[in-house]
Amino acid sequence: MTPGNNGASTPEEDDPFGYLYADGQANGATPPSGGGGYGYPGSVNRVRAVGERKYGQQTAPTAPYGQVPQQGGYGQPNAHYGAPETVPGGAQTARTPMPGHGGGGGRGRGPNTKGLLIGAIAVVAAVVIGIAIAMTGGGDDDKGDDQADATPTASQSAAPTQEETKGADKPKELPKADAKVLNLGDGVTTASDIQGAKAEGGVYVTGFNHVGASIVWSVSGIEKAGKYTLNVNYGVPGKDANATLTVNGTSQDRPLNLKNFAKAAEGDAAKGWTNTWANIMLNKGTNTIQISCADGNQCDVNFDQLSLESGWKLS
């Protein structure tokens, strides 16, 4: 602004709503386009004295300042108010319900059921989430408890006692040997020309077919005295044989049976490999087992392997 242009000369000229006031109208305030406005012809408003409202021909005086007008009974019209439709000759009006509120039939605005429903759903969701967390064992304390339960106890992780493992120990494997490593008597030797021997390299003991021939096995590591079975792998050239069995210097009552169990043709030594057994008694510690060709034995036989089993077999 400049000293020559200070805007409107009065507040009413500068106030865009000056037309609403009587002094503003006197000073030329312009009402909005379209006519009407407070204090102008065409306006839907009417100037009324404070404390009065006119409907038709009646004037409803108001109560003096600071006093509350007397109200009628519940459901009765107020004596100080008369709706236009209740005044003789007054215009009939129709109520139009506010859009978006309440139901049909001219009902007023009801409770905010949508908001209540949303709140109820939120509460239910919170309760469900809390229950789910409780059921899954949430929280650091619960996690620690679970880990503690999964950790083996001292009794579970401790080594088994001697009593617990006593029955679980596997029986110690008893000795076995290829015949070629035994002590060989006079005239007894090794060979490998006949196929089918199970000993290492297919090597077997031969030259046994004469009186005085023998093989001796010195067995050590026997933990318990008692009954044992001697297993013998051998081969015959399609005919039966036998030999004398001696254990710890004592000859057995029955000769060692070296029959042609393979049913090989006579002279077919390669097809004559088979096995036999004998029940014997052994001492704890070291024992001597001897197989020999004595008078009366049929000794045309080759020896492959010897082994021991605990207990006796049925004859």
pLDDT tens, residue by residue, 19-73: 666 666 666 666 666 555 444 444 444 555 555 555 444 444 555 555 545 554 4
- Please determine, for residue 120, whether its predicted confidence score (pLDDT) is greater than 70: yes
Q: Are 112 and 119 in contact (CB under 8 A)?
A: no
Average pLDDT, the chain: 73
> Which ranges of 154-289 would DSSP assign to H, the alpha helix?
154-157, 162-166
Q: Which helix (H) or strand (E) holds 269?
A: none
Q: Which two tokens stand for residue 172?
A: 């110690």
- Please determine, for residue 219, whether its predicted confidence score (pLDDT) is greater than 50: yes
Q: Sorting pLDDT into bands at 50, 70 and 90, what band is 131?
A: confident
Q: What is the pLDDT of residues 224-253, one digit of tens each?
A: 999 999 999 999 999 999 999 999 999 999
Strand pairing category for 285-292 and 58-59: unpaired
pLDDT reported for residue 81: 47
**C-alpha 46, offset from chain centre:** 82
pLDDT reported for residue 123: 84
- Please determine, for residue 147, whether its predicted confidence score (pLDDT) is greater than 70: no
Q: Beta-strand (E) ranges in the chain?
A: 54-55, 58-59, 176-178, 183-184, 189-191, 204-206, 214-222, 226-235, 241-247, 250-251, 256-258, 273-282, 285-292, 302-310
pLDDT reported for residue 132: 79
Q: What is the pLDDT of residues 254-263, one digit of tens each?
A: 999 999 999 9
Read off the pTM: 0.48
Contacts of 231 (CB under 8 A, 6+ apart): 275, 276, 277, 306, 307, 308, 309
End-to-end CA distance of the chain: 140
Task: Report the alpha-carbon distance of residue 13 to residue 17 in Å, rounded.
Answer: 9
Higher pLDDT, 211 or 139: 211
Nearest to 240 by CA among 167, 299, 153, 174: 299
